[in-house]
Structure 1
Amino acid sequence: MNTSHTPLLVVGDALLDHDLCGRADRLAPDAPVPVVHGTRRSSRPGGAALAACLAAADGRPVTLVTALGDDEASTTLRELLTGRVGLVEVPLDGDLSSKTRVLAGDRPLLRLDDGEGRARESTEEAVAAVAGADAVLVADYGRGTADVLRQALAGAAAHAPVVWDPHLRGGPPVPGVRLATPSAQEARVLAQQAGEDAEPGDEGGLRTAARDARALVGAWQAHAVTVTLGERGALLSYGETPLLVPTPAAATGDPCGAGDRFAAAAAGLLADGAFTEAAVQAAVHAATQYVAEGGARAVTAPEPQDTPTDPSAADGDTTADARRTAARVRAAGGTVVAAGGCFDLLHAGHVALLQAARRAGDCLIVCVNSDDSVRRRKGDGRPLVPATDRVRVLRALECVDAVAVFDEDTPEHILGELRPHIWAKGGDYARTRLPEQPLVESWGGQVLLLPYLDGRSTTGLARRAALAPAPTGGRTR
């Protein structure tokens, strides 16, 4: 775990979620209902417990304060959380709430809810955890955990960033929260409760979302309110002109838990000192990627902790992150696309290729030659840009989900670890059998050629830069 991140305390109502996934290709003979067969059952943390696990997956220490009891669902949830997050319990009256979804493919058909347990009271340990927290995320699902710790949370909001993810069954955020993150539907209902009516002809539109956010900033005495808008992104308001943060790409998939992913990402970044606008932008990207990678169904077990394999990777072990991304997308039934190259002096041809590759599947992993690999392939004058910078630039592209650095002359080894469904190369390789093609085809993968923009090359850029006249006067940067 990367302990350079600020620890995060998650406070709220944990749930236990189950999915029954199968196929439905006929109706029952005795009633017009689908018959689901070939079902697979999976269980995972839900509610505040899901938010805590998602925050921990970002590489930060996370402690969850929640209500648990002696019932079977509570016991199962404790087991699922072991090794993933720290746990501070408050007593629960009744059984832990759980929900079971029945799905045919990606389409939910039915949901069954059980358990109406509520937090009974706070504890000294829980109050101390809130009082000493560097940053807090509250996931209030209306089952009492935030209520019994409300006074402590109000005190925390006075000295630490508090992100409050409200739900219709819960109470309002305490005054002074840094950011509240209702969905558009939740914001509409909560704003109506605060006396705000929708603008005629725009029910559910951006004008209504902006008015709701402005009303909730005042009613809740919050520094900012972000209304999440699903595929459209999020609307951030401080009470005046709002900022629309669009999604980086269209993501089709299971949106269950996307709000938790958004709130967890925003809370973690605010904990690390990010500005609110930057935190919201990154949270939109995180929620979009979460849906594209399969949503909550990909969060069924702790992710493997990999040992760093390439010291030239920037900002941590990007290769391990690439392996985890491929595993999550594959487990969710998605298509893993990989593309490779040196990407020395990233240019328009590279970007067009990567954008086209991303549209071919559900995630794009870019395999990048290390500095030694580039030097062996291109000569002593290359690379012009070190691997750390090349990785950082690639990761900044919206179409790139992860980057893996390899030190060999060809990427067979890293491809064998990632096992992509599609290996994408530029169209200039047409009529050429790539050395990695037999390997990709050995697991049923497909090598795919994509159009390449003519006249763009790193060599040409470097040659033109070398011939360019030196600037005269002033300082160069």
Structure 2
Amino acid sequence: MKLTLPRFDKARVVVAGDVMLDRYWHGPTRRISPEAPVPVVRVTGSEDRPGGAGNVSLNITSLGAPVWLLGATGDDEAADSLTNSLESAGVFCDFIRHEQAPTITKLRVISQHQQLMRLDFEESFSESFQEQIPEHLEKLLDNADALVLSDYGKGTLSDLQSLVKLARSRNIPVLADPKGADFEKYRGATVITPNLSEFETIVGPCPDEKTLVEKGQKLRRDLELDALLITRSENGMTLLREDETELHFPAQAREVFDVTGAGDTVIAVLAAAIASGMPMPEATALANIAAGIVVGKLGTATVSLPELRRAVSSVHGVERGAMTREQLETVIEEAKSHGERIVFTNGCFDILHAGHVGYLEEARKLGDRLIVAINSDESVTRLKGEGRPINSVERRMAVLAGLESVDWVVPFHEDTPETLLEMFKPDILVKGGDYTIDQVVGAPIVHEHGGEVAVLEFLDNCSTTAIVRKIRKENVTA
């Protein structure tokens, strides 16, 4: 399975669920209290982090995807801290504040890298307060591409079925990370992502793969789910879908330091990928790679887009061949992150000849990656006249993509490649022929972005137009 990162910035995700504040007090411990046999911690520092649905939202926004978070909090300082942290990270917060209940807060006392105590501050929100969630969600779904239900069993999502039906009635995918012993409340969701322990709590022990798949498919059918994704720690993940063979994804982590928050990362990446239009298997593979990154970090953590790019590249390599503009923009960014120099050239390349091949080989030597932008059929006709091109754009792209010197081929319908140059910002723009540099179309754009422009001669003095004329002349003579 070849992976290309999607355009996360085009994926709009709504997260609804239990919002929590993870608060940490740090300090040294040098004595035992005279009042009781407990250590005395002199607090020298504190740290607040969004937890629960907040951490899921941070994972999504760290990929560059816009995210809206709906949750319930108290009307207190903890809610202010959560709002400030999340909004500064780019999360749009819609918090329903309750004056009679505190924001769910988990206070951890840490000394010498060890947790000595955890204090939980939480009370149940009133039923009338919980009834406001669907009303708020309905407004947020107007511009959503996916909905994540981040359920930690704290009561914010007391009526999950209404939320699932609300989103599915609008053809919006619904993803849920389930909690508790009742999965019936997730009926009709697009996909749920239980870990193995949560899954076995519902279906019973699964001593082997066959049992896991059989019980998983039965659960998926019973709950009317499109898919079931079981996360299995060191055994990776298993994706089950209707009328499809099960897919097993091996764990990607080389070294595990902390599994805290790994489930948040999985559902966050899965949701952002699906919201961007990525198929379920590819989205799962991406989430699996992200999980391998996050378990190598201490504490609840997020995965950044550059980290994910590097990991995908190390697993799959940077893809080559014919691409859309959006796909190419992603792989160019990945190549640049590794310090690779991008070379760009363009043309009709109607009938590929020795001059073209030699020219492209010389162009490739100027950098690490070569992009060939190729005129669409309509563009060639405008430039060359009726009867051209001889070969369709799909055939021309296929031939160019087969050359060893060419990394990526992309079509363009405009008469000039200036739009692509603005988008890709290549390090070197190359043109073949007897141009001077100031005559090369797009040269000012490349110079403005700090790039270079080079002019190469076509080898063997070949010409597609001359070849076409010769063929037509010989056909007339015959």
Report TM bin, short chain. Answer: 0.5 to 0.7
Q: Specify the code of the residue in structure 2 equivalent to 1:99.
A: K
Cα offset, 1:121, TM superposition: 2.2
- Choose from 314, 317, 339 the match for 1:368: 339
Give the CA RMSD over aligned residues: 4.5
- Deviation by residue 1:197-237 (Cα, 9 ceiling, x = unmatched): 325xx2xx655643553343133211111111123221111
- Deviation by residue 1:9-30 (Cα, 9 ceiling, x = unmatched): 1111111012345678999999
**Contact 1:180–1:224 (CA under 8 A) maintained in structure 2:** yes
Cα offset, 1:69, TM superposition: 2.4
Deviates more, 1:268-277 or 1:114-123: 114-123
Cα offset, 1:171, TM superposition: 6.0
Cα offset, 1:87, TM superposition: 1.7
TM-score by length of 2: 0.58
Q: Structure 1 residues 277 and 247, CA, compared in 2 at 3 Å: closer, same or farther? A: same
- Aligned partners of 2:78, 2:215: CA distance in 1, in Å? 37
Match of 2:271 in 1: 267
Gap regions ≥5 residues in structure 1: 304-317, 327-338, 346-364, 373-377, 394-404, 409-477
Match of 2:177 in 1: 165
Cα offset, 1:406, TM superposition: 12
Instruction: Report the secondary structure of 1:213's partner residue.
Output: helix
Instruction: Report the secondary structure of 1:186's partner residue.
Output: helix
- Deviation by residue 1:127-173 (Cα, 9 ceiling, x = unmatched): 32246532101101122332246414312124111111111277644
1:407-446 map, 5 Å: none
- Aligned partners of 2:302, 2:36: CA distance in 1, in Å? 33
- Aligned partners of 1:208, 1:215: CA distance in 2, in Å? 11
**Contact 1:235–1:245 (CA under 8 A) maintained in structure 2:** yes
**Contact 1:13–1:67 (CA under 8 A) maintained in structure 2:** yes
Match of 1:90 in 2: 96
Q: Structure 1 residues 288 and 32, CA, compared in 2 at 3 Å: closer, same or farther? A: farther
Gap regions ≥5 residues in structure 2: 1-6, 321-335, 344-360, 373-404, 409-424, 429-478
Q: Specify the code of the residue in structure 1 equivalent to 2:259.
A: P
**Aligned pair 1:128/2:139, yes or no?**
yes
Cα offset, 1:54, TM superposition: 1.0
Larger Rg: 2
Match of 1:11 in 2: 16
- Aligned partners of 2:342, 2:108: CA distance in 1, in Å? 48
Q: Which has the higher contact order (CA 8 A, sep 6+)?
A: 2
**Aligned pair 1:101/2:108, yes or no?**
yes
**Contact 2:192–2:228 (CA under 8 A) maintained in structure 1:** yes
**Contact 2:161–2:187 (CA under 8 A) maintained in structure 1:** no
TM-score by length of 1: 0.58
- Aligned partners of 2:63, 2:12: CA distance in 1, in Å? 11
- Aligned partners of 1:36, 1:367: CA distance in 2, in Å? 45
**Contact 2:73–2:79 (CA under 8 A) maintained in structure 1:** yes
Q: How many residues align?
A: 331
- Aligned partners of 1:249, 1:173: CA distance in 2, in Å? 32
Cα offset, 1:42, TM superposition: 1.6
- Choose from 120, 127, 136 the match for 1:113: 120
Instruction: Report the secondary structure of 1:18's partner residue.
Output: strand
Match of 1:350 in 2: none
- Choose from 282, 286, 292 the match for 1:288: 292
Q: Structure 1 residues 386 and 260, CA, compared in 2 at 3 Å: closer, same or farther? A: same
**Contact 2:145–2:276 (CA under 8 A) maintained in structure 1:** no
**Aligned pair 1:184/2:196, yes or no?**
yes
- Aligned partners of 1:208, 1:34: CA distance in 2, in Å? 48
**Contact 2:364–2:370 (CA under 8 A) maintained in structure 1:** no
Cα offset, 1:33, TM superposition: 7.6
Q: Specify the code of the residue in structure 1 equivalent to 2:21.
A: L
